[in-house]
Structure 1
Amino acid sequence: MRLTPLDVARAAWGEPMPDWIEALALACTKTSQAKVAIRLDRTGGMISQLLNNKYPAGTANIEERVRGVFLEGQVLCPSLGPLPVNECQDWRIKAKDFQVGNPMRIRMFRACSRCPRFLEALE
């Protein structure tokens, strides 16, 4: 009998399993780890390590991405309004470098640099 990603996560994480790990495992069960990795803009190896509870680094950033993509987690962006948390994360990363030529990048650079979520991530 072949184990599903959900079975693997349950065995590795025990009870209670974090809700975002369960959502990640369910998404992998419905499609594949490779497709989930693409949706999260991460590697399949990272997804495997997370499911097996062997990811060696902090999980706050990937948890935020999973919540945005699979759990409909949103934040209220001061510039764009309601926004999935993974998109907020993407804008925060882009806002670290000021780039001219793209009005949206300039707008988000200004908005993110004043946002508590951006400032919190810098600490």
Structure 2
Amino acid sequence: MTPIARPVTDYVEKAATAWDGAAPDWIVVLAEACSKSSQSAVAKKVGYSAPTLSAVLGNAYKGNMAKVEEAVRWQLIGETVPCPQLGTMRKTECQEWQEKPYAATSSHRVAMFRACRDGCPYSRITINTEKDA
């Protein structure tokens, strides 16, 4: 018995139709990434579920579209930011620095840890400043 193949989704066409041919640049990039790989793989990379990406591509997402856009721009488009410590770097590199735990292995590593948590406008780190009672 031959297994039945699932139909291949053309995510670029899906987005073009849903957005009336005027999809924003990041939607096009998202759709192309899903077509090249898989929606599940891209969802994992940008930190959202496959059903969420499906809703975004279909212009039916009811959540915070700006947050999804930011994730796509950070993870798929490779935009750059001016790092206060290192100069221009890719947003993905910026995110990698933010995710590193504190380690006093070098003065550079300590400086980056502090810079990412000391008011950098590109930091996505939320710091709880409330003291325990």
Q: TM-score, normalised by structure 2?
A: 0.67
Q: Which has the higher helix share?
A: 1
Residue 102 and residue 54 in structure 1: after superposition, are their counterparts in 2 closer, same or farther (change >3 A)?
Answer: farther
| Cα pair 1:68 1:86 within 8 Å, conserved | yes
Considering only CA atoms, is the larger Rg found in Structure 1 or Structure 2? 2
Q: 1:66-92, CA deviations, whole angstroms, 9 ceiling, x for partnerless residues?
A: 123322211111134333324545666
Q: How many residues align?
A: 115
- 1:115 corresponds to which of 112, 115, 120: 120
Please provide the CA RMSD for this pair.
Answer: 3.0
**Who is 1:21 aligned against?**
27
CA distance in 2, matches of 1:90, 1:48: 27
- Find runs of 4+ consecutive structure 1 residues off by over 6 angstroms: none
Secondary structure in structure 2 of the residue aligned to 1:82: strand
TM-score by length of structure 1 reads 0.72
Counterpart amino acid of residue 84 in structure 2? P
Aligned to 1:102: 103
Deviates more, 1:67-76 or 1:80-89: 80-89
Q: Within 5 Å, which residues of 2 pair with 1:37-56? A: 37-56=43-62
Unmatched tracts of structure 1, length 5 or more? none
Q: Against the structure 1 CA distance between its residues 91 and 53, is the aligned structure 2 distance closer, same or farther, given a 3 Å change threshold?
A: farther
Q: Which runs of 5+ in 2 are unaligned?
A: 1-6, 128-133
Counterpart contact for 1:20–1:66, Cα < 8 Å: yes
